[in-house]
Structure formats: C-alpha cells, structure tokens
Chain A
Amino acid sequence: MGWNCLNIEERLTEYLDGHLAGAERTEFEAHVATCAGCTALVADVRGLVAGLGRMEPVVEPSGLLLRILEQTSGVPKRKGEKSWWATLAPLLSPRVAIGMATVTTTMVIVFQAAGINPKKISLADLSPLEMARSVNRQAHLTYARGSKFVNDLRVVYEISSRLQEANANRSAPVEPERRKPASPQTERQLKNDLLQKGTSLIAAAGLAGLPGEER
C-alpha cells in the first residue's frame, strides 16, 4: 500500500531530520517522486529549515527594553534630568574604588600565574578552561624547573665532594682516620642545606608564578 499526500505531510519533519529509515523512507521518497505537490512541499520546507539554520541571532540594541518601558508605561522621559557627573558620581565612592583595586590586583595575580601577557591578551586567554589549563601547565613547569635546579645542585655538590676527597687524600694522606669520620657529617649537613635551599626556591618560584615563560 503506497503512501498518500497526508502521510507525507505527517512525516515530513521526521524525513527532513533524518529520523525516517528503511521501508518508511523508501515509501516516502516513492510517493514524493510521483507527486508534484509533495515535491514542492518538501522543497519549500527543506529550504525553510536551511534558511532558519543560517539566520543570525538578532541582538537587541542596548537600552531597547528601557525605551519600550518608558514609552509603554507612560513614565515621562528623564533625559537631561541628571547631569553626566551625577551618573558618574557613584563610581567615585571609596567602596567602588577599593573594589576596583581589588579586582585589578586579582587579575594581575591570575594573569601572572596563568602566564598571560596583559599587553597581548586575546579572548581565548580569558576562557576559564584555557586559564585553568595554563595555570596547571605553569605549575608543572615551575616544579620541573625547581627539581632540575636541585638535581644540578646535586651534581655540583657531587663534583665538589669528589674534589675535596681527592685533595684530602693528596694533602693529608698521613691522617685519613681523623678526616674520614668528620667528612660524612659535613657531607650530610651540606646536602641538607642544599636540599632545603632547593625546596624553598621551588616554593618561592611557585608563589611568584615566575612570569616570562614562553607559552
């Protein structure tokens, strides 16, 4: 049993949205192929859907709502009633000024932590996801740099202790017993010092956010 024009009208949306499959789709297309009216209908609605999809959203001009309210509620226009100074005055109150300063400071800290250069800021930089990702990356970089620093110190320390040992063996081969017990003590001391310095450097770098890293 073939489909009639009413069937086509009923199932048109499903067909256009790709929800019609198999035998139903075949029936649909079979009828449309033989019916001029339905061919026109399908083309019209398909064109409409495509056209609606291409439409840009309308952005209302700023103040439209206020103007409509003014004109429909019968409230007389207050234009010119207030000077521009009166409009700006609330912005100059100490509370607003402190608030602005706080916001600015926060932004500076966040930008620094995120490694964003405020002079070359782009919209993408400001998306929260990008921001979080960047801060995370910066933290890892800082940590990596810190641990590299400690490792470098270890190498330097290793070399210097070897040199010390060599010097000690050469200059004082007569009394190795006296030097030996003292050595591990100072060695540990020095190592601890270096490690502590390294850690505090990492902490300091983390706090400062270390700007200037290539992004």
Chain B
Amino acid sequence: VSPELREAVILRDLQGLEYSEIREVLQVPEGTVKSRINRGRIELARLLGQMGVGPQ
C-alpha cells in the first residue's frame, strides 16, 4: 500500500480523525482524502485476504 493511501487509512481508522481533520493534516482537498481512504482500505483488505488474514 503506497504511503499516501497508508497515511490516510491510519489517520481515519487508527487515529479516528474525521475527513475534515485529515484534510487539514494532509493539506489536500476532501475529495482526495475520501478517495485515498477508500483505495487504501480496499487495497489493505485485499492484501490481508491474500495473506490469509480474514476480517477479524
């Protein structure tokens, strides 16, 4: 997972920030924030699926 997608997912799902807060932190438009979180989550879920780690 690329660093941009990774940091977006970390901020959203581990740090629990809202989209608007992530937009402030990363200094990118909110649409970009949403799509990065989206792609990051999907890629991470696929990677975990490949590694044989199912949803907990």
The chain A residues found within 8 Å of chain B, CB to CB, are 9-14, 16-17, 41, 43-55, 57
Determine how close the nearest CB of chain B comes to the CB of A16; give it in whole angstroms.
8
Contacting pair B55 A47 (CB below 8 A):
yes
Between-chain CB contacts (< 8 Å), 28 pairs: A9-B42, A12-B41, A12-B42, A13-B37, A14-B34, A41-B42, A44-B45, A44-B48, A44-B49, A45-B41, A45-B45, A46-B55, A47-B45, A47-B54, A47-B55, A47-B56, A48-B13, A48-B41, A48-B44, A48-B55, A49-B13, A50-B55, A52-B9, A52-B14, A53-B13, A53-B16, A54-B56, A57-B14
For A11, A12, A43, the residue with the greatest tally of chain B CB atoms inside 10 Å of its CB is A12
Determine how close the nearest CB of chain A comes to the CB of B23; give it in whole angstroms.
14
How many A-B residue pairs have C-beta atoms within 8 angstroms? Tell me. Answer: 52
Chain A CB within 8 A of B32 CB: no
Q: Bound complex: CA of A11 vs CA of B34, how far in Å?
A: 9
Could you list 20 further interchain pairs (A-B, Cβ under 8 angstroms) beyond the known A10-B35, A12-B42, A47-B45? Answer: A9-B38, A9-B42, A10-B38, A12-B38, A12-B41, A13-B34, A13-B37, A13-B38, A13-B41, A14-B34, A41-B45, A44-B49, A47-B54, A47-B55, A48-B45, A48-B55, A49-B13, A49-B41, A50-B55, A57-B14
Determine how close the nearest CB of chain A comes to the CB of B2; give it in whole angstroms.
16
Report whether over half of chain A's contact residues are helix, strand or loop; otherwise say mixed: helix
Q: Bound complex: CA of A11 vs CA of B14, how far in Å?
A: 20
The chain B residues found within 8 Å of chain A, CB to CB, are 9, 13-14, 16, 19, 34-35, 37-38, 41-42, 44-46, 48-49, 54-56
Contacting pair B55 A51 (CB below 8 A):
yes
Which one of A45, A51, A55 contacts B42 once the chains associate, using CB atoms below 8 Å? A45
A10: B residues at CB distance < 8 A: 35, 38
Determine how close the nearest CB of chain A comes to the CB of B3; give it in whole angstroms.
17
A45: B residues at CB distance < 8 A: 41-42, 45
Contacting pair B55 A44 (CB below 8 A):
yes
Which one of B14, B37, B48 contacts A55 once the chains associate, using CB atoms below 8 Å? B14
Q: Considering only CB atoms, which chain A residue lies closest to B56 in the complex? A: A51
Q: Bound complex: CA of A51 vs CA of B48, how far in Å?
A: 12
Q: Bound complex: CA of A13 vs CA of B46, how far in Å?
A: 15
